[in-house]
Amino acid sequence: MEDNVKEKRPKFCINDHVDILLEILKRLDGRSLCVSACVCRLWCTIARNDSLWEHLCFRHVSPPPSSGVRPVVVALGGYKRLYMVCVRPVLRRLGRLRLAGDSDRVRRVWTRDEVQLSLSLFCVDYYERLGRLGGGGDASGSSLMFLCKPVNV
């Protein structure tokens, strides 16, 4: 009797259904996405999928950015890097200034201008990394360091 019950109810494991997993992960915010990458190897691989991060970056931008953006971003280091290095700090800073209350959460909705600014800074970051790899100048500085520093708002 017990064996029948076990057999009739198939064990559901989300890891067998990667497409559902993707759909769920698509709706997460950045921090949760990073946390999910620590769950298991499969999740780690999936969470590194750049399209998830692309979705995260441009999810709330309307109209959606043109098709020319993707190759540029990918070439400059990918959407995950774009999010981590530029979009997240930019939104956190600008969001914090706008919302008096909810300062812990990164603002979900952002404007094209903010995205554009993030892209510009991302490009500058790439250029500086070029410089460092090329051996010119000292490796200590990064013009985006100001984004990492805590804001005394």
Partner 1 sequence: MKRDHQETIGGAGNSMANKAESSSSSMATGKGKLWVEDDQDAGGMDELLAVLGYKIKSSEMADVAQKLEQLEMVLGSEDGISHLASDTVHYNPSDLSGWVQSMLSELNNLPSTDLDSSTLLSNNQDSNPSTMTSLDFPINSQSKAFVDDSEYDLRAIPGVAAYPQREFDKSNERKRMKLTLVGSNTAPTLAVNSIQSSNSSCTPSSPQAIMAVSGTLSEPTRPVVLIDSQETGVCLVHTLLACAEAIQQENLKLADALFKHIGVLAASQVGAMRKVATYFAEALARRIYKIFPQDHCLDSSYSDALEMHFYETCPYLKFAHFTANQAILEAFANASRVHVIDFGLKQGMQWPALMQALALRPGGPPAFRLTGIGPPQPDNTDALQQVGWKLAQLAQTIGVEFEFRGFVASSLADLEAEMLDLRPPEVEAVAVNSVFELHRLLDRPGGIDKVLGSIKAMRPKIVTIVEQEANHNGPVFLDRFTEALHYYSSLFDSLEGSGVTPTSQDLVMSELYLGRQICNVVACEGADRVERHETLARWRTRFDSAGFNPVHLGSNAFKQASMLLALFAGGDGYRVEENNGCLMLGWHTRPLIATSAWQLAAEDSRLR
Which residues are at the interface with partner 1 (CB under 8 A)? 65-66, 68-69, 71-72, 75-76, 89-90, 93-94, 97, 113-114, 116-117, 119-124, 126-127, 130-131, 134, 136-138, 140-143, 145-147, 149-153
Burial annotation 10-28 (CB, 10 A radius, 16+ → b, else e): eeeeeeeeeeebeeebeeb
Q: Which is nearer to partner 1, 53 or 122 (CB)?
A: 122
Q: Give the residue carrying structure tokens 């997993």.
A: 21
Of 76, 75, 31, 80, give the one whose Cα is nearest residue 51: 80
The three-class DSSP label of residue 114 is helix
Which of residues 80 and 92 has its CB atom nearest to partner 1 in the complex? 92
User: Smaller CB distance to partner 1: residue 10 or 135?
Assistant: 135
Shortest distance, position 102 Cβ to partner 1, whole Å: 18
